[in-house]
Amino acid sequence: MAKIRVGCATMVERGGKLLLGVRGKEPDYGNLVIPGGGVDIFEDFHETARREILEETGIVIKNLEQFGVRQIIKPERDYHTIIIYWTAQYQSGELKPSDDLLDAKFYSKREIEDAVEQGKLYGVNVDVLKDAGWIG
């Protein structure tokens, strides 16, 4: 039986662009995602957001603020995840994707909209980015 997973994903802005990663594992291999990952036992959500961005992209963030909460429920895949979304600003570090990501970079609004049109960014990621004003 599946267990509910809890994670944090952070929309990191730098110079009017948004950090997105190319997922390097299933589900959604090869598609764009808002970087993040699972909450460790006894870990504060703020710490999860900071740790996951550092682990997945090599950068340090600042001005972390909670944005919202979403869930992904896919009974056919035995999958239920609760995701706490954050906004943050780039602070420092060199962008270097982890093994979980094939690539990561900062995208302009136009590039994000193009990715949606091409089917490379979809689902809850699109809903969150629309709510955050990154997609029209």
User: Exposure pattern of 43-58 as b/e (b: 16+ CB <10 Å)?
Assistant: eeeeebbbbbbeebbe
pLDDT digits (tens, 9 = 90+) for 72-86: 998 888 889 999 999
Two tokens, residue 11 = 């929309």
Q: For residue 1, what pLDDT is reported?
A: 65
Q: Is 45 helix (H, G, I), strand (E, B) or coil?
A: helix
Nearest to 122 by CA among 32, 10, 37: 32
The pLDDT confidence band at residue 124, using thresholds 50, 70 and 90, is very high
CATH of 5-127, one of 3.40.190.10, 3.40.50.170, 3.90.79.10, 3.40.710.10: 3.90.79.10
Q: Hey, CA dihedral for 9, 66, 7, 120, is it positive or negative? A: negative
Please give the residue that has the higher pLDDT: either 47 or 3: 47
Four-point Cα dihedral 102, 124, 38, 54, nearest 10 = 50
pTM of the model: 0.94
